[in-house]
Amino acid sequence: MLPARHRLTERADFAATIRGRGTTRHGSRLLVVHARPAAHATATDARGPASRVGLVVSKAVGNAVVRTRVKRRLRAQAGEILPHLPPGTDLVVRANPAAAEASSAELGAAMRHCVRDLLVDEDI
């Protein structure tokens, strides 16, 4: 489970991360990752701006059971890469239909690959 400060929950934040100015994206067969740089950080506390992750898993991925399983796996993988993100970075991870058949390790590898390509100076 992602801590509350690391969750992207507002519709406007999702829209800004997916379609906003200065955002980038990278995709694979399993998922697409959209990144919004730290310059737009709004969620801050005593520890500084928080990196946040939002998940989009549509009905095209499968029924409710399959979607929930994919979200749970993506959340676990996102928790592992959060410490490696620059502070204040927002990510939206959109699952493609092929994610329904992927293992947790495959989803994690795809997510790390996409994030590594988006944030070239980070070692994830």
Encode the chain (124 residues) as per-residue pLDDT tens digits: 788 899 999 999 999 999 988 889 999 999 999 999 876 555 555 567 889 999 999 999 999 999 999 999 999 999 999 988 888 999 999 999 999 999 999 999 999 999 998 886 555 6
18 falls within a domain: yes
d(Cα 99, Cα 34) in Å, to the nearest integer? 17
Tell me how many domains the chain contains: 1
d(Cα 7, Cα 98) in Å, to the nearest integer? 24
Question: 8: domain CATH number?
Answer: 3.30.230.10
pLDDT for res 44? 55
Domain that holds residue 32: 4-118
97 falls within a domain: yes
What totals of helices (H) and strands (E) does the chain contain, helices first? 3, 6
113's enclosing H/E stretch is helix 104-118
22 falls within a domain: yes
Q: Where are the beta strands (DSSP E) in the chain?
A: 24-27, 31-36, 44-45, 48-49, 52-56, 90-95
pLDDT for res 39? 66
124 falls within a domain: no
pLDDT for res 2? 84
- The reply to whether the predicted model has a pTM over 0.85 is yes
32 falls within a domain: yes
pLDDT for res 38? 76
75 falls within a domain: yes
pLDDT for res 71? 97
d(Cα 124, Cα 121) in Å, to the nearest integer? 9
123 falls within a domain: no
Spatial contact of 38 and 25, defined as CB atoms under 8 Å apart: no
11 falls within a domain: yes
Please give the C-alpha separations between residue 6 and each of 43, 59, 98, in angstroms, as whole numbers: 9, 25, 26
